[in-house]
Structure 1
């Protein structure tokens, strides 16, 4: 509770933190209520094709007359869903692997860390192209790919923290009285590595959004009729000179969203590390 109060205090004292917080709150609320708005993201109007921003269409219209404001909101829903879902998957896998390797060490550590090294060495773009042969491109595939192959850095961080935490007296006492390793790891070691885990999770969200946007921009991610910010950028390539706003708007949302997550992640890191009081 004290940490939360300190975070909110810093947010309202620092303009950049306030901007990041308000931007994410507004974005999340708009993304959640998008289906309740009386605008159909798939409704075409040939009389309103490629119209610039106006009172009727706040973000203008696309090449087939669809309202671009609602398209961007629905794209935000997908990008945020991918970011959060991939973060949860990567955090879970990375935490389990990091705890196991850091706590047990020895042959278990050697085997799992070599697997981590091999996966880290594979370029993600090559990996996605290979997986796209076996998996149908779409939302579930992009979450599986990003979440299933972005946990290695988290595993390394948690492993290092676990190796440090297992040398502490309360962990040694738990081992001395015969507590099971799983109980020690999740009851005693995990709480001590939680600050590092929170920081890694916030960074993972922005990384997942960036990866999804890049993949969708290359045509390997979200497919029509569903849209994400990356796919909106990809669709805008053919009309950059006529309708530059179609690329600028989703691009700005990607930049501000990633900046906001990273900015708030840095704030949480500084507070948990005692650099802000």
Structure 2
């Protein structure tokens, strides 16, 4: 009997950090089923071993709307996987694809496949900084006005939770990260720990750097668009093993209920 032809439809796949060992089984399955795989060049390059025999459509940053339209058009008669770094629903392609789909009036099966986020990846390398409530805020003002970003920073820091900063510093907006640090210092003492994690769980991963909020200027130049910054909360502390700094611990509250 001939092989069954895949049913038309669209997978929006979070591929995590990009290394295949951090891809979920469901994500790998969705890509394997797809006839067409669409994505940004860098994301496609990271999963090149999974693309053999696929029709691959490459796109560049800034072409997200066009990418979404292409995926929706193809998915009406083919199985399509739209790949997105991290989790497709967290600063990824899921939102714009669903908006374009809604606007188009087309009716196609859609499955959003979750992936490991940059926050999860970075946190795993520096202990347990996100044990309880935390916030994730992008410092990119390409789609969100800077004044809105500043209000969100104030809201998050004012309640004492850890804050993960995405897109912290680029050549086009080198001052947004310093501005975020100013907002953090309005609410947090200089002893609050900060993790600087570049290329978390990706090729080119650098050793994470742990500093305090009061020392951040010493590593400011190391922060770029490949960096995830975790600013600890009011209860976060530096985690040491012997005399060695290993990362950050944010207690969840067990110490208030149990003896250990």
Same fold (TM over 0.5): no
Structure exhibiting the larger radius of gyration computed from Cα positions: 1
Larger helix share, 1 or 2: 1
**Greater relative contact order structure (CA < 8 Å, 6+ sep):** 1
Instruction: Give the TM-score, by structure 1 length.
Output: 0.23
